[in-house]
Structure 1
Amino acid sequence: MEEFFQSKAMLTPGVAGTTTTMITGTLVSQFGLPGNWTGLAISLLFGLSVWADKSVPVYQRIIFYIINSMTIFAVAIGINTAGMVINQPLERSVDPHVIEETHSPADQQTFFQDWFR
């Protein structure tokens, strides 16, 4: 568990990026907050975990804070983008006289959204 909170550990940004995606997706879909700024703010909050490692000098912690926060944000963007691609409906051709109704949960999914629109 000690290695999880070290500033040099890359597991922390990966887990924090996943958590950032979940929190940002929820806030964006439920409250209509802007995804890009919400994700960045949450990434910066999770990046504060490097300050728990007192064995590294302050100037290195500042550098690790910036790098880890941007890594967390990049992971969150990647997960969100992958989720958007997975949830896109497949293009298929339907005869004009066929009426197709879709009521699947995948068509109503709004969790993954374009954060930069």
Structure 2
Amino acid sequence: MGTIPNDIRRLLDDCELFVAEILQDEDLSVSAQETRKILLNNFAVVHRGNPQEFPFPSSDFRDEDGSDDNRSSSLGRSAPSDDASDYQDDGNPESFFKIVQNLM
């Protein structure tokens, strides 16, 4: 199908699930919340730019207040969001450096 090995694709899917779903329920600092949003946007950019490698939609962005009216017990993928990120344009490499800076 694609050029990315299956184990790498699964690792990326697991990382996206962790950032999108697991960290959603954590009490994160403002900096960590911003970093989470940047990572979610980066996953969306990769999915949009490589639909042949990632045929399933990336995780959606939650409301700013962290609420989720459609919370379910399943760990499946959510529908893609049409919300634009304030943190990154498609393919903007500077946002990757923001993540590192926020972690320091």
**TM-score, reference length from structure 1:** 0.30
Q: Larger helix proportion, structure 1 or 2?
A: 1
> Which has the higher Rg, Structure 1 or Structure 2?
1
**TM-score, reference length from structure 2:** 0.33
